Structure 1
Amino acid sequence: MQRVPSLKLLMGFEAAARLGNFSRAADELHLSQSAISHQIQQLEEQLGQPLFRRIGRGVELTVAGEVLQRSVQRSMETLRSGLGRIATYLDPGLVVLVCPAPLLHGWLQPRLDQLRQVLPDLCPLLSTDESARYVDEIDVDMTIGARPMQQAGLLELPFLHDEWVTVCATELAAKLDRVPRAKHHLHTGLICLEENLTSESTAPIFRGQLSAYRMNAIYDDQRLVLDAVLRGRGIACLSRLVAQGSIDQGALTILADYPRLPGMTWWISRVAGMSRSPVVEQMFEWLLAQGKEADAGRGPGA
């Protein structure tokens, strides 16, 4: 296997190839022209073929030099990108939170501006990769999930109590208010989450109270159900927390006298004891307070 030249030699080559001049490459790298010339000579000796040829006061690449330039430029770009990502992780305000996508989209995302006002130095890294559920304070600071992780050394608390509510776009709700409840199904249809049609807790309402409604669309992602309902395409049984941001904005209305069912309890987890950074604990406490406020604010038609 051929030995890979040192990064110093490749950086000198890349600058000379890009600028077409050893002197300008030396100036860019804060080296002498003789140092650049010596680096190029070393590189050519290692590779066993010339990379440049002289033209007037500058240089141009040989065929071998052109091939190497393309490879080095791609490698340098990959390296710069990686260093940039590392710099992000050095931000003292960084907090990594793993959270299911529907909950992040519908409940937490609308609250981020408020969170940033409380913690102006915070840089949240919000991930929906639920496979990354090991809290180690390096890759993950805290998680929100449907059950405790039962990982040793974690502080795990019940966080949010969800419920299923029947909602529709506020404009559609106003139209339905003008007709008897028994005739609502003549004026709109259902937007469904696929799993709700088979779940023991929610399937009965589709076979019972909502059975008269035409099925307008079925999705496998609550975010898509939410989007369709916001577009006025029908009514839907949604997680209260997924819909909460749109309810708060007045875009969605919880329909009175329609099914409401208890939902799951969401849990929040972080390392027990002192966290690696005060901002981690501050964000954790803020989330807990928001959870208590959300639970206290639940009420019929709210």
Structure 2
Amino acid sequence: MAKLPSFKLLMGFEAAARLGSFSRAADELCLSQSAISHQILQLETQLAQPLFLRVGRGVELTVAGEVLLRSVQRSLSVLAGGLAQIDTYLDPGLVVIVAPAALLQGWLQPRLAALQAAIPELCLVLSVDESARYIDEVDVDLLISQRPLQQAGVQDHTWLSDEWVAVVSPQRMPELQALPVHQHHQVIGLISLEADFQNDGPSHQFRQQLAAFRRRRIYDDVRLQLDAVCRGDGMAYVLRRQASEYLQTGQLLILPDYPRLAAAPWILSSVAGAPRAEIVRQVRDFLLQAGELEAT
């Protein structure tokens, strides 16, 4: 691999190429024009390519210069984005929570205003990266899942209970209420997830009570599944916590004649003992208290 030019040479080149002038580049970088000319000469010597052509009182890029300019500007853009991200992570109010997208949307999102009011200085980073399985090793303060991390130095709090419930949109409920349950499959189909056929709760229902239903749609994202049911496209078995907001706002209704099936509880994982910052403890305690209130 060829030796990369120094950052100083590339910055001088980028300024001269962007401004079309060595003197204006020198002014921008607080250097002398001869210093910029020397940097460009060094860069051209190292690359064994002419990068500029003199035109009148200015300069124009050669083909090699244009190729290099695009690469340098892309690199500078990536670097600027990284520096901006670092600035964000220096915010003393920052707390990073990782959780499944549907739970963030259906349960946590409606409660964020109360959390923000309780902790005004809070700056939340909410991530749906479910591959994150470590606390504090990948910039994660709190992780929510249905599996305990069982990681050294981490405490797994059994947090929110949950259950599988059969749901339907309000516009489809009357036609189902007008029929006995064993005839429901004649007027409505199932909106499923790929994972439903592996989950202990709903997979049993699919093999038993729901065996006569035609599958209308199979998704790999519960948010799309919930949206389809809200639109009246069919019925579904879903985790009640993930459908929490839809149920509270009346966009979805629980079908009364279908069994509620036990589901694994949600686990809130955090550092055992004192977290890295007091504000992390405040967010954790807020979430734990919200879970306790819902259990009463």
TM > 0.5: yes
Q: Which runs of 4+ in 1 moved over 6 A?
A: none
Question: Secondary structure in 1 aligned to 2:242?
Answer: helix
Residues 168, 255 of structure 1: 8 Å contact kept: yes
Q: Matched residue of 1:171: which SS?
A: coil
Unaligned ranges ≥5, structure 2: none
> Any unmatched runs of 5+ in structure 1?
297-302
Supply the distance in 2 between the matched residues of 1:279 and 1:137 (Cα, whole angstroms).
Answer: 18
The equivalent of 2:13 in structure 1 is: 13
- Report the CA distance shift for 1:119/1:170 in structure 2 as closer, same or farther (over 3 A): farther
CA distance in 2, matches of 1:9, 1:65: 13
> What is the rounded CA distance, in whole Å, between the counterparts of 1:199 and 1:275 in structure 2?
34
Q: 1:131, 1:277 → 2: CA distance? A: 24
Task: List aligned pairs for 1:1-302, cutoff 5 A.
Answer: 2-136=2-136, 139-179=139-179, 183-197=183-197, 199-296=199-296
The one-letter code sitting in structure 1 at the alignment partner of 2:69 is: Q
Say which is worse superposed, 154-163 or 210-219, in terms of deviation. Answer: 210-219
User: Does the Cα contact within 8 Å between 1:191 and 1:233 map onto a contact in 2?
Assistant: yes
Shift of the alpha carbon at 1:138?
A: 5.3
Change (3 A) 1:52 1:252: same
Distance 1:233 1:49 in 2: 63
Kindly state the Cα deviation for residue 135 of structure 1 after the two structures are TM-superposed: 0.9
- Secondary structure at the aligned position of 1:37 is classed as helix
Structure 1 residue 6: Cα displacement: 1.5
Q: In structure 2, give the amino acid aligned to 1:92.
A: P
| Distance (whole Å) between structure 2 residues aligned to residue 3 and residue 259 of structure 1 | 67
| 1:151-201 deviation digits (Å, cap 9, x = unpaired) | 122222101100011111122224434555555444322223344345443
Quote the offset at 1:10 in angstroms.
0.9
Is 1:159–1:268's contact at 8 Å kept on the other side of the alignment? Answer: yes
Instruction: Measure the CA separation in 1 of the matches of 2:207 and 2:66.
Output: 69
- Secondary structure at the counterpart of residue 292 of structure 1: helix
Q: How far does residue 211 in structure 1 lie from its aligned partner after superposition?
A: 4.2
Give secondary structure in 1 for the equivalent of 2:155: strand
